[in-house]
Amino acid sequence: MPARPLVIQTEPLDREAAAWLAERVELVECASDDAARFGGLLSRADGLAIRTYTVVNDALLARAPRLRVIGRAGVGLDNVDVEACRGRGVAVVSTPGANTRAVVELVTAFMLDALRPRVYLDRAAEQREWTTVRKNLIAPRQLCDLTLGIIGFGRVGSAVARVGAAMEMRVIYNDLIEIPAERRSGAAPARFEEVLGAADVLTIHVDGRGTNRELIDGRALARCKPEVVFINTSRGFVVDPASLGAFLRSNLRATALVDVHEPEPFGVDYPLLGLANARLTPHIGAATATAHRNMSWVVRDIWRVLNGEKPENPA
């Protein structure tokens, strides 16, 4: 019998999805930073199953002469040089939409964290303390009175717009393409500068193209309201952290909730560390069991390519 194709799994996959692929190929788990072992496997690998922290560039591809497919268990392809792959005839597949609901949940939680202060009681309280706590938790702003500004109106951005509409917020957005009215959920298109200036809550959902690097810089932030709630769950590099840090220090009523960073993990010199109005999370937008399971089924497209079939979600 002919040898089964070799696929290297460099990062965790859902157990069921990995088992499904292992029934069809020789599946070997090996982190890409295990230099000696990974290099040996790569020289004879037909496929790679990766997630966020395996970088596929021309140097890696040069060491993988048999490679036919790279499956990214996730949405963005920021860590994959798609053009270099195409130049070598390597297919790239991913799982668009697999984590949309999870990211939207996190954005919604961020909005409520910023705008609805709350404490959880763990003991009885006397009347005076009870009254004081309740008074201190009066939210100065309510979502239905605010404008939600969305930069990037793809799968996640448009779903966030539906949440905003359900909360009776005014929703405006900016995107590079014209969005049909029936897909806007009542959101109104606006120029980039208009969204920045009008948003009480500003949330970023752009893709990984190079022109989005430091899209949110000092000039962009200067247009924002001094009490803006700023949310980034898209990519770390779209925000200049030094400019955001300076903005937060100058506008103490503003709040930034940032889930994605550059680099990851960041070091002690990260400009947002130590700021009372910056809340940082460790890239957890897709951190639900459902999203992880959905993303892991990129294995189906890996197998389709290896089996000579057309993938459902090519890059």
* pLDDT tens digits for range 203-240: 999 998 999 999 999 999 999 999 999 999 999 999 99
Nearest to 285 by CA among 218, 243, 232: 232
Q: Which residues pair with 314 in a beta bridge?
A: 93
- Which residue is listed with tokens 């090996």? 30
235 is annotated as an active-site residue: yes
Amino acid (one-letter) located at 210: G
Is the model's pLDDT at 146 over the cut of 70?
A: yes
Average pLDDT, the chain: 96
CA–CA–CA angle 44, 45, 49 (5° rounding): 165
Please give the pLDDT value at position 288: 96
pLDDT, tens digit, 9 for 90 and up, residues 86-112:
999 999 999 999 999 999 999 999 999
pLDDT tens sequence across 150-185: 999 999 999 999 999 999 999 999 999 999 999 999
The answer to whether residues 110 and 232 touch, using CB atoms and an 8 Å cutoff, is no
Cα 239 to chain centroid, rounded: 13
Residue written as tokens 């006397």? Answer: 126
Known catalytic residue at 283: yes
Could you tell me the domains of the chain? 6-98+290-306 (3.40.50.720), 102-285 (3.40.50.720)
The whole-number average pLDDT for the span 31-52 is 95
**pLDDT > 70: percent of the chain:** 99
pLDDT at 3: 85
Q: How far is CA 23 from CA 26, 225, 300, in A?
A: 8, 55, 12
Q: For the segment 5-14, what is each residue's pLDDT rounded down to a tens digit?
A: 999 999 999 9
Whether pLDDT at 1 is above 60 = no
User: What's the rounded Cα separation, in Å, for the pair 69 and 92?
Assistant: 6
pLDDT tens sequence across 54-92: 999 999 999 999 999 999 999 989 899 999 999 999 999
| pLDDT at residue 77, rounded to an integer | 92
Q: What is the pLDDT averaged over residues 240-255?
A: 98
Instruction: Kindly name the residue from 83, 168, 193, 264 that is annotated as catalytic.
Output: 264
Distance, in Å, from the CA atom of 36 to the CA atom of 202, rounded to the nearest integer, reads 45
Helix axes 299-306, 15-22, angle to 10 degrees: 10
Q: Is 290 in contact with 101 (CB distance < 8 Å)?
A: yes
CB 21, CB 48: distance < 8 Å: no
Of 44, 141, 162, 283, the active-site residue reads 283
Strands (E), 80-146: 91-93
Neighbours of 98 (CB within 10 A): 23
What pLDDT is attached to residue 2?
A: 66
Neighbours of 40 (CB within 10 A): 12
pLDDT over 70 (residue 199): yes
Across residues 270-286, what is the average pLDDT? 97
Q: How high is the pLDDT of residue 256? A: 98
Check residue 293 and give its pLDDT: 96
What global pTM score does this model have?
Answer: 0.91
Other beta carbons within 10 Å of 189: 15
Yes or no: say if 247 and 258 are a contact pair by the CB < 8 Å rule. no
Catalytic member of 72, 170, 235, 300: 235
Which pLDDT belongs to residue 76? Answer: 85
Residues 6+ away with beta carbon under 8 Å from 159? 100, 101, 104
CB atoms within 10 A of CB 197: 17
The question of whether 262 is a catalytic residue gets the answer no
Helix (H) or strand (E) holding 201: strand 201-204
